[in-house]
Structure 1
Amino acid sequence: MFLLKLITRNALRHKLRTMLTVLGLTIAVLAYGLLHTVVDAWYAGAAAASNARLVTRNAISLVFPLPLSYENRIRGVDGVTLVARSNWFGGVYREPRNFFAQFAVSDNYLDLYPEFVVPAQQRSDYLRDRKGCLVGRQLADQYGFKVGDVIPIKGTIYPGTWEFVVRGILDGRDETTITRQLVFHWEYLNETVRKTSPRQADQVGVYVLGVANPDDAAEIARNVDSVFRNSLAETLTETEQAFQLGFVAMSNQIIAAIRVVSYVVIVIIMAVMANAMAMSARERTVEYATLRALGFGPPFLALLVFGESILICAIGGGLGILATPPVASLFRQATGGVFPVFKVSGETMVLQAACALVVGLAAAVMPALQAARVRIAEGLRAIG
């Protein structure tokens, strides 16, 4: 109890210095948490991907489509229970900055995605309306879309202005489900393309496959690809997670830079904290010598320094951790929903606490050694 009281008084002796150090630690831990959450958000789509779904695309590149005739042949592969079509539409809502994912999908597409919840009546209305579409809840909240609205989308891959009628809202099964997309009928897209550009008709961007046993996914993928080996359009079949990670891999350098910056922030605040503790240790040389003269050993003096450093870091780190969720929520709103899932994970908070602890320990090493090595005669001579 005496030791804790002494540590607290030492920490509060220079209130302004302590407050500024705590503020710096709070900002550093907060920044680390936000940067780590950005990385988590980047991988959110891949993390939520199912291992019970496979994606078949053109082996050369995703840019090149596959023939519609492949669907029946894929369906005939052992272990495949369902085959759905999906085309990336790539349109723009009103102006280029209003970008979100749009997919032309077959009517059985949602059967493969139980994480998307649509009321039965809304799904029925969607299936009956050729120009109908389903809008994700996150997208609907961002733009204010509601059932019955007409959404004009300016096509980039498929020229012209396309109008879709909102027939339903896609809700997520839980908060980790990304619902920032619009889906509409693949048949409507194909019929329109057949009239304007017949050569581009009957083409599928990717096939999404449901499998009977997720443990057989790798074997089923090989079997699907073997069916189209040496054909004009060879295929590459992979798990949905691997497919999603392929997109993330395109941004690996950005993600690596974010990770580096997050740790640089911690290193910088560690240097600031070490400097503050070193200043405190130099100012208390006489006090340390006096304590030595009274019979307190080097371990006690070192414990004083470590205790003060850890206490300051615990306060700054705790404030930073507490501030991270609300600041992350504000950040998500300010960025206009760029990250559909932007939630501070428990792992991030644990890492924040670990960083604060490491800073507290590392910053106190040299000052603690300095305090423990104080000689009584030299320390007392430092008066004045």
Structure 2
Amino acid sequence: MYALKLITRNALRHKLRTTLTVFGLVIAVLAFGLLQTVIDAWYAGASAASSARLVTRNAISLVFPLPLSYESRIRGVDGVTSVARSNWFGGVYRDPKNFFAQFAVSDNYLDLYPEFIVPDQQRADYQRDRKGALVGRQLADQFGFKLGDVVPIKGTIYPGTWEFVVRGIMEGRDESTITRQMVFHWEYLNETVRKRTPRQADQVGVFVLGVDNPDNTAAISRNVDAVFRNSLAETLTETEQAFQLGFVAMSNQIIAAIRVVSYVVIVIIMAVMANAMAMSARERTVEYATLKALGFGPGFLALLVFGESLAICVAGGALGMLATPPVASAFKQAVGGVFPVFTVSPQTMQLQAACALAVGVFAGIVPAVQAARVRIVEGLRAIG
């Protein structure tokens, strides 16, 4: 108890220095948490993807579509329970900066995605309207879409201006579900393409497969690809999660750079904290010598220095951790819909706590050892 009182008084002796050090720790821990959250948000799509769904695409590249005739052959593969079509539309809503995903999908698409919740009446209205579309809740909130709104999309892959009527809002099953996309009828797209460019009709970007047993996805994938081996359009079938990770892999260098920067921030504040503790220990050389002369042992002196370092880092780390969720929420609002899912995970909070403790331990070791080794005669002659 006595040692705790001394640690507290020592930490508050130079209030300005302590305040600035704690503030620096808050900024460092907060920056670390935000950068780690950015990395988590980058992987959010892959994390939310199901390993029980398979995606079949052209083995050469996603750019090349597959013939519609493949659907019936895929459905005949043992273990496949359902097959849905999906085409990337890639249109622009008013301005290129308003980018969001649009997919032309078959009517059974939502059956494979139970995480998207659409009221029965809205889904029925969507099925009846040839130009009907379903928009995700995050997308609806971002652009203010309401039921009955007409959404004009300027096609890039499919030229022209396409108009879609919002017939339903897709709610997410939980916070991790990304609902920043729009889906509409694949048949509407295909019929229009057949009129304009018949050679591009009856083509599917990817087939989404439902399977009877998630444990057999590897075998089912091999069997599907075997059906089309040596054909004009060979296939590559993989889990939806692996499919999503393929897109994330394109940004691996950026993600690695962000991860490195997050730890560099901690290393910098570690050096600053070590310097602050070294200054404090050097200023108190006479006091440590006096305490030794009064009978206090080296362990007690080391405890005072080490405890002060930990106390400052715990205070700064705790404040930084408390500030991270609201700052992350404000950041998400500021950047618009860049990150559909941007929440601070428990793992990130644990990493923040571990980094704050690591800074406290590292910064306190050398000054604590120096304080413990102070010689009484030399310490009393020292000028602080």
Distance in 1, Cα, partners of 2:297 & 2:255: 48
Match of 2:235 in 1: 235
Match of 1:73 in 2: 73
Match of 1:107 in 2: 107
Match of 1:14 in 2: 14
Question: What pairs up with 1:278-293 in 2 under 5 angstroms?
Answer: 278-293=278-293
Distance in 2, Cα, partners of 1:383 & 1:96: 67
The one-character-per-residue Cα deviations of 1:196-220 (angstroms, maximum 9, x if unpaired) are: 1111110000000000000000000
The one-character-per-residue Cα deviations of 1:321-364 (angstroms, maximum 9, x if unpaired) are: 00000000000000002110000011110110000000000011
The one-character-per-residue Cα deviations of 1:176-199 (angstroms, maximum 9, x if unpaired) are: 100000000000000001111111
Distance in 1, Cα, partners of 2:280 & 2:232: 74
Question: What pairs up with 1:1-384 in 2 under 5 angstroms?
Answer: 1-383=1-383
Amino acid at match of 1:36: Q
Distance in 2, Cα, partners of 1:160 & 1:306: 69
Distance in 2, Cα, partners of 1:262 & 1:303: 30
Aligned-residue offset at 1:140: 0.2
Distance in 1, Cα, partners of 2:71 & 2:251: 32
- Ranges in structure 1 where 5+ consecutive residues have no aligned partner: none
Distance in 1, Cα, partners of 2:23 & 2:270: 13
Runs of 4+ residues over 6 Å off in structure 1:
none
Distance in 2, Cα, partners of 1:128 & 1:336: 33
2:3 counterpart SS class: helix
Amino acid at match of 2:170: L
Amino acid at match of 1:268: I
Aligned-residue offset at 1:370: 1.0
Distance in 2, Cα, partners of 1:45 & 1:302: 49
Aligned-residue offset at 1:383: 4.0
Distance in 1, Cα, partners of 2:59 & 2:297: 71
1:176 counterpart SS class: coil
2:102 counterpart SS class: strand
Distance in 2, Cα, partners of 1:45 & 1:270: 34
Distance in 2, Cα, partners of 1:363 & 1:153: 57
2:292 counterpart SS class: helix
Distance in 2, Cα, partners of 1:295 & 1:159: 87
Aligned-residue offset at 1:366: 1.0
Distance in 2, Cα, partners of 1:329 & 1:269: 25
The one-character-per-residue Cα deviations of 1:241-293 (angstroms, maximum 9, x if unpaired) are: 00000000000000000000000000000000000000000000000101111
Length-normalised TM-score, structure 2: 0.99
Distance in 2, Cα, partners of 1:198 & 1:304: 81
Length-normalised TM-score, structure 1: 0.99
Distance in 2, Cα, partners of 1:63 & 1:301: 68
Question: What is the root-mean-square deviation of aligned Cα atoms in Å?
Answer: 0.6
The one-character-per-residue Cα deviations of 1:68-111 (angstroms, maximum 9, x if unpaired) are: 00000000000000000000000010000000000000000000
1:92 counterpart SS class: coil
Q: How many residues align?
A: 384
1:107 counterpart SS class: coil
Amino acid at match of 2:69: S
2:169 counterpart SS class: strand
The one-character-per-residue Cα deviations of 1:24-69 (angstroms, maximum 9, x if unpaired) are: 0000000000000000011111111111100000000000000000
Amino acid at match of 2:303: L
Distance in 2, Cα, partners of 1:294 & 1:208: 78
2:236 counterpart SS class: strand
Distance in 2, Cα, partners of 1:81 & 1:322: 47
